[in-house]
Structure 1
Amino acid sequence: MNTVVIGLQWGDEGKGKIVTYLSRYYDCVVRYCGGSNAGHTVDYGDFKIVHHLIPSADGRFKKNMYIGVGVVIDLDVLLRELEQLNNLFPESSTLLRVCKQSHLVLPFYRELDGRIDAARNEPVGTTRRGIGLCYANRALRFGLRLEDFEDDQTVKERLRELAKLWNLELSIETVLEHLREAYERISHLLIDNVEAFENLKNKNLLFEGTQGVLLDVDVGTYPFVTSTNCSSSGVQSGFGYPIKIDKVIGVTKAYTTRVGEGPFPTELKGEEGERIRKLGGEYGATTGRPRRCGWLDFVLLRYAVKVSGCDELIVTKADILKNFEKIAVCVAYEVDGIKVHELKNLKDIHRVKPVYEEMEGWKDINSRAFTKFLKKMEQEVGVRISYVSTGSKVDEIIAL
């Protein structure tokens, strides 16, 4: 069984917890896209872990982990995460493998990333971690890969090319020394893509997506998106080989959030939005930025389910809306006076006016009001809900 877990909103849906919980049923967790701009927070109760690069496998179950070719690697971040993993689950770090053909996020990419975003007429709100620039250099064939460190001369030539391309004054030797030291510390984890595929081809794999469908570079709210195919469509290229996906699980909050710039039809800019933000602890795990909050949007959820091929839903943060006397859900948009229930694309999303239905709030997840909310979601989206997260901790989840 090969399953992919993706976010159906603008990221931050709680995928880290979900992947950690589900990982007990799989042989290996595979990261297939993104970089250290991801922040998957996992609450074990006594402690929390924030995964940026290392897959969110449950350390208590000693599962294999693989970082695929579609992930871009910041070695400094990876080393910090490995240290954290070694401290909490000493045996788990030996179960990680990293694709040799993965591209590296170089230290000077971060500054360039910020410079590029600042030069836009309208900044997209990048995390300024150098992720987009790394993917751009990969596409331009100027990228530096982990396997290049098998020959220092190759690395030097790549660094010179990059300095020339981006008009940088670099101390090649200083940069190389820093990268070489970091590379040596993780070299024992490296594996060629072909060998990884051979090792994993008969295993049950859980693919971990990053960000969310609405941030996918092709089907998201472009240009306010990330730089990768973070929807289910990115699994093949991010793994590096054709692979059959048996199930696509979409994760959605009981409300909607967004970090950074871009359209957000159901955003609540007043007291209700602030209340959700505080109750939900809605601050970015990677950047610490406050998340924009709003009501659940069924129009966007239907779109995300359709373009991702989602088979089932997992709902998170339903507990955050406890004790709201009334909640609202967006069931349609009004565009130029016409009511719209389905979207073919997102190009005019900034122009829509949400059409709401009001629903009774709930005191707990066993209440009639909450059951009615879940049934409404399934009817509107057309996909069944398999789990509901009932709290922040890994095991605070119930199957339906």
Structure 2
Amino acid sequence: MPAVLITGAQWGDEGKGRATDLLGSRVDYVVKFNGGNNAGHTVVVGEEKYALHLLPSGILTPGVVPVIGNGVVVDLGVLQQELDALSSRGVDVSRLRVSANAHVITAYHRTLDKVTERFLGKRQIGTTGRGIGPAYADKINRVGIRIQDIFDESILRQKVEAALEFKNQVLVKIYNRRAIEADEVIADLLSFREMLEPMVCDTGLLLHRAMRDDRTVLFEAGQATMLDIDHGTYPFVTSSNATAGGASTGSGLPPHQLDRIIAVIKAYTTRVGAGPFPTELFDENGEHLAQVGHEYGTTTGRPRRCGWYDAPIARYAARINGVTDFVLTKLDVLSGLDTIPVCVAYDVNGVRHDEMPVNQSDFHHAKPVYEEFPGWSEDISGARRFEELPKNAQDYILALEAMSGSRISAIGVGPEREQVVVRHDLLG
């Protein structure tokens, strides 16, 4: 049975939870392998809408085992809040498994994230202020707190005190903030021990056995390709690997076991936070996309920057991830537009670039080279087969497919669970 990866092909918010939900009944395990509660998935099930920030969206599908892998940084307070909220709505959360090796976001990580971002002023990265970056920094600096440490109070105390010895100097002497008491942090972390005990395990071994037993494992990336710490628009990126390679390091499953790599991409482009965005719109078209597409962050509520589809970015994502299938979302948002421009290349100081420029400064100054396609006025939300879409919508999809480096296998035509046109089996 396959191991399948779903990631975003742009700057996040493409609708990855929707793609995961599309495969839900055919999947046995859903694994979150990177990131934390700095990105969210909105999943609509019937009349119910669920906003998930830390939990894998597979937790909404009966029978699926949701897994938080070792590559995730976990805010335990958020984890408890999400589990309680889902339980109160009748969702069974008892199947959740959490890696003992996952790192923990503490109070001092959140504090440092916020004060550092404010200190940067106009040079801000645009973080969510949830402590993600500082937690990953501690992981790389080998001074992080892991889930397993909560079960050994002596080790936990040693690690927290060692971390605060330096961080309090920074908080007090540089940022003029009060020092954080080690006892407060330790007491907070220990308060989650009872909640964690039944769900913590060796998730790498769990997934290895699942593959051995011919189970289908789905890997669900937080964030997206253009926010990847190595392959994104650095430094305006997240602090983890949201691309296909991250699925292996963030879960313990070897890379050769990934069979299908699905990249989710909007029929236009959005971005939250700072950083270059060649096709960004500042006119009524951008406002139209934002309003019709309800472009506000699931986790932060921040308005998303909107722009036209960027084919070089799609090709880049296809190449970096080894994409086998694209899922195109929010095609319905484009209904009613007379013409739909698509970025097919960039102009950088008079030089045409058909692919992503290698230099960040070139990408920052890139101007989109557009090709225009005729729009459509029909309501496409009822379409379930490709042939039921208006001819101009079909032509738009086929053009994007030819430009983007892989086949477009599914198309979202509305916000509801069933409003999807499937062209190819995502698992076949």
2: CA distance, partners of 1:36 / 1:255: 25
**Counterpart residue number, 2:174:** none
Compared with structure 1, are the counterparts of its residues 90 and 47 closer, same or farther at alpha carbon in structure 2 (3 Å cutoff)?
closer
- Matched with 1:186 is 196
Report how far residue 197 of structure 1 moved: 3.6
Normalised by the size of structure 2, how large is the TM-score? 0.90
1:174 is matched with 184
Identify the residue that residue 377 of structure 1 maps to in structure 2: 400
> Are 1:149 and 1:180, in contact at CA under 8 Å, matched by a contact in 2?
yes
Q: Please give the TM-score of this superposition, normalised by the length of structure 1.
A: 0.96
Q: Give secondary structure in 2 for the equivalent of 1:227.
A: coil
Q: Of the candidates 208, 212, 221, which is equivalent to residue 224 of structure 2?
A: 212
Matches within 5 A, 1:237-386: 237-243=249-255, 244-343=257-356, 345=358, 347=360, 348-362=362-376, 363-365=378-380, 366-386=389-409
Structure 2 counterpart of 1:39: 40
- The amino acid that maps onto 2:321 is S
Q: CA deviation at 1:148?
A: 0.7
Which amino acid is 1:74 matched to? Answer: D
4+ long deviations beyond 6 Å: none
Q: Which amino acid is the alignment partner of residue 48 of structure 1?
A: K
Distance 1:184 1:175 in 2: 17
Q: Shift of residue 118 of structure 1?
A: 2.7
Paired with 1:183 and 1:396, the residues of 2 have a C-alpha distance of 41
- Give the fraction of aligned pairs with identical amino acids, expressed as a percent: 39
Number of aligned positions between the proteins: 399
Letter in 2 for 1:17: R
> What amino acid is aligned across from residue 342 of structure 1 in structure 2?
E
Paired residue for 1:112?
A: 112
Matches within 5 A, 1:62-101: 62-91=63-92, 93-101=93-101
Q: Take 1:101 and 1:119, find their aligned partners in 2: how far apart are those partners?
A: 32
- 1:391 is aligned to 2:414: yes
Give the Å deviation of 1:389.
0.8
Which blocks of at least 5 consecutive residues in structure 1 are unaligned? none
Give the AA of the match of 1:358.
Answer: E
Gap change, CA 1:271 and 1:6, over 3 Å in 2:
same
- What is the root-mean-square deviation in Å for CA atoms of aligned residues? 1.5
Residue 187 of structure 1 aligns to which amino acid in structure 2?
E
Render the CA deviation track for 1:314-372: whole Å, top value 9, x for unaligned.
10000111111111111111122122212253522111111111111122441000000
Matched-pair contact (CA < 8 Å) for 2:204–2:251: no
